[in-house]
Amino acid sequence: MYISEQEVRSVLTYEALIPAIRAALIDFSAGRVNQPARMILRAGNAEGHRNGWFAVMPVVAGEFMGVKTVTWYPGNDQLGLHTHMAIVELLSRATGEPLAVMDGRLITEMRTAAVSAVSFAALAPAHFESVPKSFGILGSGVQARAHIAALKHVWPEMSEIRIWSRTPENAKRLANEVGATAVSIEEASSADVVLTATSAQVPVLQGRLLEPNSLVLAVGATGATIREMDDEAMLSSFIVAESRSCVERESGDVLLSGAKVHADLGEILADPRVADIPRDRRIISKSVGMAIEDVTAARLVWQAWQNVGKRVEDIPYMS
């Protein structure tokens, strides 16, 4: 069975995906997921920033196995193409039978935003004295749009969206689409909650621009040699990792700054008492993306197609 992006879009919802991702992160941190490090190969198609990469991400979890193959070509935006493209194969753990192959671009987009929504829901109540209102976004691509959609499910009080992009026209276009305001990087960085979702190779988010107790959701700059945030931002913050092992291996923001990861998100989700979430210090929630998230989304999509007439949000996490 091949499931196209259009078909994925027709059944995959944040109402289903956010709680499923939450459960998957808890399982991962508890050691119930077999997920080796992702293998990344440089494409060698161009020099410098335009050089793409190809990654393979396998995982075994619950009743399923899966593998995502994904490419990232940062120069594609200048060609009118998606920078990320992917395919996910879902298999039965019991028999090894291939169950479905599906387009993984939208899955990658949505699961990334769902992780941030899970992180926000876990951290914001413990961190802020009152519910935050303003959301600053650095970047104007698919992740900016996806995060606005996903966060509204866990943050209905969001009332002010500020968007900055290195291409001002893109920021204005997105702002008009979602009822936001295109602003300077200083204004975006000073919001209560800040999203970094850029293809930057060097820091764009500067610690001096952040509020003393802001929450940063950092999802760009996946790679040990690239980064979105400067040393001041990293070293002045309490850092929560989507996965400590993955972030410490793959995040240039962490590796190049020498910052310490203070807590693992899955452990906090299972028991908030494991980490003393600060109220008087910035928090950075850093994610680099994991195969368990892709297979969790792929399972929801496949089961939705097996359960014709049922809503995908009615399907249990591991049935």
- The per-residue pLDDT for range 2-38, each reduced to its tens digit, is 999 999 999 999 999 999 999 999 999 999 999 999 9
SS (H, E, C) the chain: CEECHHHHHHHCCHHHHHHHHHHHHHHHHCCCEECCCCEEEECCCCCHHHCCEEEEEEEEECCEEEEEEEEECHHHHHHCCCCEEEEEEEEECCCCCEEEEEECHHHHHHHHHHHHHHHHHHHHHHHCCCCCCEEEEECCCHHHHHHHHHHCCCCCCCCEEEEECCCHHHHHHHHHHHCCEECCHHHHHCCCEEEECCCCCCCCECHHHCCCCCEEEECCCCECCCCCECHHHHHCEEEEECCHHHHHHHEHHHHHHCCCCCEEHHHHHHCHHHCCCCCCCEEEEECCCCHHHHHHHHHHHHHHHHCCCCCHHHCCCCC
Task: Identify the pLDDT of residue 78.
Answer: 81
Which pair of structure tokens corresponds to residue 169? 């026209």
Residue-range domains of the chain with CATH: 2-108+291-314 (3.30.1780.10), 112-286 (3.40.50.720)
Q: Give the pair of three-digit tokens for residue 240.
A: 């929560």
241-290 pLDDT, tens digit each: 999 999 999 999 999 999 999 999 999 999 999 899 999 999 999 999 99
Residues of the chain with pLDDT under 50: 309, 311-312, 315, 317-319
Q: Which residue in this structure is represented by tokens 């702002």?
A: 175
pLDDT of residue 313: 53
Residue type at 203? Answer: P
pLDDT reported for residue 280: 93
Name the amino acid, one letter, at 127: H
pTM, two decimals, is: 0.93
Task: Mark 187-215 as b/e (b = at least 16 C-beta within 10 Å).
Answer: bbbbbbbbbbbbbbbebbbebebbbebbb
Q: Give pLDDT, residue 223.
A: 84
CA-angle at 317, arms to 313 and 318, nearest 5° = 140
Residue 71 has what pLDDT? 93
